[in-house]
Structure 1
């Protein structure tokens, strides 16, 4: 049995993840006793300092409060951007959170979050979790700090303007993967896609070097023209392979299965 705590603007996503079974509530709502509760899931905005508007210490206190009323809780699942990534000189949020839990509490819990894909131990890496409650699709995008801004904006623009917020179709388009192969396997089970590439292609190097992509991916006119260029398969392949970034993506019923113990 699980229970979801969500930040106020993540209500639709949390309820979609729960299939509207009533096992979701605002993170600041009072703690309740839930029969058979084993897993506490939290979903909201995150960076290296805050998650669901809670500091690592605040989250540790919140989890301890829930466990005091639900002693059967044995795992905590964290769904957010940047739980595992941080700028140089700072520590990823999940690491801080584990320290604040203390040894005796921590050893009784399995902490799960999205995987580290860029940066040594997550440092000098960046990530964002796109999720659409209507299509029940998600994409976890990670990159180095220097390339994250353009990669995030390009994916967001393609997803919103070309695929109606369907994250699987957008990710499949950018990785040249047939989307039907990602959604279901031969038995009808949900699948997850993974894309990791670090090679460089010279054809679009000048575009990157000019700084145009970094400075203009949030400008509508630029992105309209750029999406037209991306519709050319050779250009699209060259662009997405020219800078290091990763995409993990799938349906909502595979999101929790994509988490790893930390």
Structure 2
């Protein structure tokens, strides 16, 4: 490739790249383990192209590979990039929350173009990979997602109906009383069920944080982006289910995992 300009989001787990070539925007991603090989390749093939960097390893990339690159703050890049990608999907909201699920999760408010970061959580893709590896022994993201899609979280989670059994519960019995609450007394929980329970715990935590923010700032539009959502159907389905259950509007942006890279690109 011989791109006209390049935006790179160098995060804790992935390198996301957005680049313009022949008037079109393209996207690529690499594992952080491929940092040196992928950036050396890009340095050779894209010599002379303007580059903007964002993310936790932006300073490192600038020093080691792209000394003339521009650095854009991660917060700014993600918000600008997400706004652009939403417009490409014909999504228009005056006021909305942007939930970026990367290695961790950050929550931002966009109020008629005024953007502010509210807070973040350590629960995110890093949790999925790290805790998922401890629970199942699997270290590959796509395989963990596949396990979660085949599992049943009820085998590991203690539900409200379990606590009130054999009588009826005063609230929805299918709600989680305790994530992994059954594991203390069960020895035969499958890898699939553990991965499903982990995915549910992450989804519930993110939705509850989003709902609290939405109640405080009085908006129901919840925009989900981030690399943890890529090809992760189980997580997306749970986020959609629980967000809607709380009366909010869940929205997923196409190519949302490249929001930071796109925002960096747009700064050039």
TM-score of the pair, normalised by structure 1: 0.32
Larger RCO of the pair (alpha carbons < 8 Å, separation 6+): 2
Pair member with larger Rg: 2
